[in-house]
Structure 1
Amino acid sequence: MTMEHYIQRFARLNANKNRKMWTAVTTHRAPHKPLLLLAVLDLFAQDSLTTNLIELSPELVEIFDLYWHKVRPPSQRGSILYPFYYLQSEGFWHLLPHPGQESALAVYRPNAGLSALNTLILGATLDDDLYWLLCTSESRHLLRTVLIDTYFAPELHALLLEQGAVNAAAYQYSQELLTKAHTVLKESTQEVNDIPPPVRDQGFRRVIVRAYDHRCAICGVRILTADGHTAVAAAHIIPWSVSHNDDPRNGLALCHLCHWTFDQGLVTFSDQYQVKTSPQLASTPNLPGHLLTFAGRPLIGPMDEALRPFVDSIRWHRQEVFHGR
């Protein structure tokens, strides 16, 4: 198939057109399919799709969510399930079942949920012609323009293009952070004030959450929802406002509760990477529950030992933030 064929396919996506639900901002159509395709274009731009298989990965979900929040209110969540499943009706997107699950996939319906779909498929493949077209930046740019111009109001065009640029820059920044962490032998404070905060934040988060495999460094919880949302966030040990340092070794993956207690100085680590809890946790009228049981536990570190936190960063947190009495 030619590029012109896929331009026509991208410009004529079948979408819900309930005008009571979808405003002029999304041209009175559900934006799920074009947003997922924008996210897929970003994965191609990152060279993340070296084979013709698009997995329902947390990275894809995160990029989809970033686009979603540009076009819908924060209170309105969008599920990647529906476009990932229903894009197969467009003719160029094909769900690839696990061996032996072909019959089960044939009778699957989205109301069964994303977890059920994940048990049935390896991911999605594209037409071979489309896959090879998307490996070139010129084709991606053209199809990105078609999606944005066709399905979104003019006032959103610049925002969506900017989000794509941020996604690309954040990926590049994350790769630079990893490279420097593996090549620089001593601690260094990198001045990156010229990098936009959205790029820094997304790039740092990408490195930390993946390095810790979505697991909290203090309590060990690892929860990924069926639609790919994670329970952990990326936390700086020495805050960015103080250190201006996004080195992964100045970071931890922490769940929301542990992140708060760490920032409040109620937990920290020893130089031997053991959890220390503040006496303030147990002071009246607190009911700290399981938090006290973390004392003495080892830090649950990154899968790559080279990204283990700097001792000097841990020491700074213990001396400057932690309430030792």
Structure 2
Amino acid sequence: MIDEKLSCLNALRVGHSRGRLAPNKPCLLLAIICEIQSGHITTPTVAINDRLISRYFDLYEATTGQRQSANPQLPLWHLKSDQGPSGPLWKPLFATNIAPLAPQLGQPKTITALRELFTEALLDPELFKVFQNSQKAYDASALLITNYLYDDQYSQPDIHRYLTSALDSSEYEKHPEKLIGNVRDERQQQARSAAFRALVLEAYDYRCAASRLRYITPDYRYLVEAAHLIPFSESQDDRPTNGLALTPNLHWAMDNHLISPGPDHKWHVSPSIDRLVTDNSWLLELDGQSLILPRSVRWQPEREALAWRMDHLQR
């Protein structure tokens, strides 16, 4: 039986776009559910951070096939007009100097403008408790999709695929020690891969561990990728300590054993690379450079994984 506290999700004040229900609020709530399940939102006070906004963009794209028109400031602002089981469903926590003016404020035009007004909001505490339960999180997701996203122009298979992967991977994000061992099936493999990517990129703050480059596009795509140190085919190890965040070109170079991070936390370049060829400078300049490490010791790469990379550097 569906928890009656979820009945408030049947009455969202959802606008219309091109003759259909707008997906903004449902996608934001689905993003919040995913973040609660993955352990990144642990109290009813929700931070309007890059993770949540990126998750919203992902869900909006899965729903509509479009990403650049997601406009996260719309649901983050207008969700305050809806009611939860014990009070306002969503209550922006405005800065002290702004709070008295809040009733007169108009809708922010950009996410940057919105975050200048508030960077946290209070989700109805009773609804938060419901979203913490994994089965009820699935029920809430199904209810939101059924009520607002079942439309011929929306992609239900993509929505379900994304949510299945996100909710399955949440257990691994909360318990990364489980990200090692043989994979049973494709669904588990997808969940583990999603958790590996999320944990590695966040550990490195979306910054390349070699080039130091960090870039997030306006529609929240990341420049870096999550790269295994010991390949998964050999290690069956998706723990973030077996990974680095790298730009695609340097991910390719490491996978082809042209560069390697060493146990000395330095980058090493294969002696097989011709030092006299100018076009090779983008690799050669890494030689001896420090490996960028996560701030948390918990996520720093294992010495054995770094040693494996050094042992396989082309000689």
The TM-score bracket by the shorter chain reads: 0.7 to 0.9
1:148 aligns with 2:145: yes
1:192 aligns with 2:183: yes
Displacement of 1:192 after TM fit?
Answer: 2.4
Q: Matched residues in 2 for 1:224 and 1:36: separation?
A: 20
Amino acid at match of 1:43: E
2:111 is aligned to 114
- Contact kept in structure 2, 1:57 and 1:228, CA below 8 Å: no
Q: 1:311 to 1:132 in 2, by over 3 A?
A: closer
Q: Matched residues in 2 for 1:267 and 1:108: separation?
A: 52
Matches within 5 A, 1:275-294: 275-278=267-270, 280=273, 282-284=275-277, 286=279, 288-289=281-282, 291-294=283-286
Residue of 93, 97, 100 corresponding to 1:96: 93
Q: 1:262 to 1:41 in 2, by over 3 A?
A: same
Matches within 5 A, 1:54-73: 54-73=46-65
1:6 is aligned to 8
Displacement of 1:236 after TM fit?
Answer: 0.5
Displacement of 1:204 after TM fit?
Answer: 0.6
Q: Matched residues in 2 for 1:274 and 1:55: separation?
A: 35
1:312 aligns with 2:304: yes
1:299 aligns with 2:291: yes
Unaligned runs of 5+ residues in structure 1 are: 20-27, 182-188
Unaligned runs of 5+ residues in structure 2 are: 84-88
- Contact kept in structure 1, 2:92 and 2:120, CA below 8 Å: yes
- Contact kept in structure 1, 2:34 and 2:170, CA below 8 Å: no
Matches within 5 A, 1:136-285: 136=133, 140-153=137-150, 156-157=155-156, 159-177=158-176, 179=177, 190-194=181-185, 196-225=188-217, 228-278=220-270, 280=273, 282-284=275-277
More divergent stretch after superposition (31-40 vs 306-315): 306-315
Amino acid at match of 1:170: S
Amino acid at match of 2:295: M
2:123 is aligned to 126
For the aligned residues, what is the CA RMSD?
3.3
What's the TM-score once normalised by structure 2's chain length? 0.79
Show CA shifts across 1:10-54 (max 9, x none).
3xx3223224xxxxxxxx333222111112122333454332212
Q: 1:242 to 1:300 in 2, by over 3 A?
A: same
- Contact kept in structure 1, 2:172 and 2:178, CA below 8 Å: no
Displacement of 1:244 after TM fit?
Answer: 2.3
Displacement of 1:298 after TM fit?
Answer: 1.9
> Does the residue aligned with 2:244 lie in a helix, a strand or coil?
strand
Amino acid at match of 2:11: R
Show CA shifts across 1:286-309 (max 9, x none).
1635x5433212211122324332
2:86 is aligned to none
Q: Matched residues in 2 for 1:79 and 1:292: separation?
A: 42
Q: 1:306 to 1:90 in 2, by over 3 A?
A: closer
More divergent stretch after superposition (113-122 vs 102-111): 102-111
- Contact kept in structure 2, 1:234 and 1:252, CA below 8 Å: yes
Percent identity over the alignment is 25
What's the TM-score once normalised by structure 1's chain length? 0.77
